[in-house]
A and B are shown apart, each in its own frame.
Chain A
Amino acid sequence: MNAKAIVVTSGKGGVGKTTTTANVGAALARLGEKVCVIDTDVGLRNLDVVMGLEGRVVYDLIDVFEGRCKLRQAIIRDKRVDNLHLLAASQTRDKSALSDTRMKETVRALLEDEDFDRVLIDSPAGIESGFQTAASAADGALVVVNPEVSSVRDADRIIGLLEAQEIGEVRLIINRLRPAMVKRGDMLEVNDVLEILGVKLIGIVPEDEQILISTNIGSPASLDDNSKLGAGTAFRDIARRLAGEDVAYPSFEPQGGFLSGLRRLFGGT
């Protein structure tokens, strides 16, 4: 993706926006990009705890917006991963403290003055002002969807809103896919979701209990090089595709329709 400021969004809550932001952000930093992840879920901040940086938050995004600190003072550098940085949301304020103008200024300053290569903006759930502000500063979007009815419907709505905001690059991440259910015909396959939503795919992430374990300890699963075909690897693959690498989609299933479906999708045999 060419987009430098990428909003991570979904419409529906609980589908994995924050997990995606943390994991893709960390993996991108590992690839050598200077990355800042921004939590815009003001009042319900969580990116800090998911990344294990909660103990280091002094200033937040709203402090920057309202001039109580310099941008540089609010940027938390992750000491475990070179190039990875967090800008936390305020926990004590609400979304009315957000401002499109300030958000755009902040993202511009990160990219131009602070020399960040990539800014990932974790959007709050919903389609209201919080989402609008998060999207206002973005030139690309990662739409996270779970293969189930409410998430797909909400993703469709969000995609419509992103297109209305003329966000150029919109890519889909299908999260929490359960290959055994897909095989039984009880979960939408990747192809079904792509056909219904009509946007380009950038990642397929299987349901994986390692995600809960990694958030328990506050260390993104994508940094665990030992994970084989789990969510951690899937998030790492997304980061590589974001950085422009052509990464094949692995099969999460030993045999059958899922892999051949993917092959068909990408014009293979």
Chain B
Amino acid sequence: MFGLFGRRRSKDKLKERLKLVLSYDRAKLSPGNVEELKRELLTVIKKYFPAEEDTDFDVKVEQQGDRMVLVANLPVKAG
């Protein structure tokens, strides 16, 4: 639902931010470290798939049930 000025409900944004920050808090990771890991992963991936765009890569920490998992979404183009 969009209210005044067509903005998003601020609580949806907060929920998203909280889920992310708590994932890092619980895993005792600093978000900056994960950014670093993402950059390094990217360097390696590019070595094998030279054409990939940086923006398609998504690396994050997520809660799955009781466990924290590192999720890397690295699409590679076919052909």
Contact = CB atoms under 8 A, between A and B. Distances in A.
A188 B11 contact: yes
Contact of B18 (A160, A184, A196): A196
Contact of A153 (B1, B10, B11, B21): B21
Contacts of A148: 14
Contacts of B26: 156, 160
Nearest to A181: B11
Contacts of A157: 25
B12 interface: yes
A157 B21 CA distance: 11
Given A153-B25, A156-B25, A185 B18 contact: no
Contacts of B19: 196
Interface in B7-42: 9-12, 14-15, 17-19, 21-22, 25-26
B3 interface: yes
B9 A184 contact: yes
Given A156-B22, A156-B25, A149 B14 contact: yes
B22 A196 contact: yes
A189 B11 contact: yes
20 contacts: A149-B18, A152-B18, A153-B18, A153-B21, A153-B22, A156-B25, A157-B25, A184-B9, A185-B9, A185-B10, A186-B9, A186-B10, A186-B11, A187-B11, A188-B15, A189-B11, A192-B11, A192-B15, A196-B19, A196-B22
